Amino acid sequence: MSSYPKRTAVLASAAALAGSAVLLAAPAAHATVVNVNYQCKTPIGDKSAVSPIDIKGVKSGSGYKITMSWQKGVSSSPVELGKGAMNPSATIRLGGADSGTLSVTGAANQAAIPANTPIKINDLSGTYTPEKSGKVTFTAGTLTIKALGTTTTCNPTNNPGPSLTLDVTAAGGGSSSSGGSGSSSGGTGTDSGGTLPKTGPEDSFVALGTLGGTVLLAGAAGTLWLTRRNQTARR
């Protein structure tokens, strides 16, 4: 009989740990680098380039700061672009629980870009405020480059997949049953909050959640069985 309280305590601890595992089962974010094939309309004709695109999300107040990065240069200029001569901007397509586009902007080039050299785009960012709760995807959209009074427009042609998926909660607890237009604004505001997980195998999280749920049920059943056994022994 003296071992009964100890067994109950052990099983209660296991159940508590299992509950924690269930809460951690769903990843808050999933990011991947996606190759985007851009077709660009330039003042001197059409050009194409493939660049890996990385999109990250960081919690910022009631929304998220979304940052879009290019790992390779796109398009080029027949003349040198001096410092500050090139201004990029882009759109990110929203999907899943939300729809529409998010505008992202960034600083002009901080160094001169030689003629006939692929133009490396600086990181672009904007603020996304969810109006619907659920999983929202972020996919590379149109890139716009303004330089020396001209405008170059680059559109993805290979139907790229999402570079980022966020599990978001609307400030007002909006439903995710239908798509809506998320509130967005371009800029490079100051971050606040911690960085969301960027990558991670979702299957492992699901497996962890399943295991946690199994342990939780087993702990509850074991506690019930021990309680009934103790009551029978007393009778």
List Cα–Cα distances, 66 to 32, 63, 116, 163, in angstroms: 14, 9, 30, 11
Residue listed under structure tokens 């999280």: 205
Closest to 184 measured CA to CA, from 70, 51, 88, 89: 89
Which residues, given as ranges, of the chain have pLDDT below 50?
Answer: 1, 8, 10-12, 14-26, 176-235
Cα separation of 113 and 42, whole Å?
16
Cα separation of 162 and 136, whole Å?
10
Cα three-residue angle 177-126-148, rounded to 5 degrees: 135
**In percent, how much of the chain has pLDDT > 90?**
44
pTM listed for this prediction: 0.64
Q: Please name the helix (run of DSSP H) or strand (run of DSSP E) that holds residue 217, with its range, or none.
A: helix 202-234
pLDDT of residue 55: 97
Q: Are 109 and 118 in contact (CB under 8 A)?
A: no
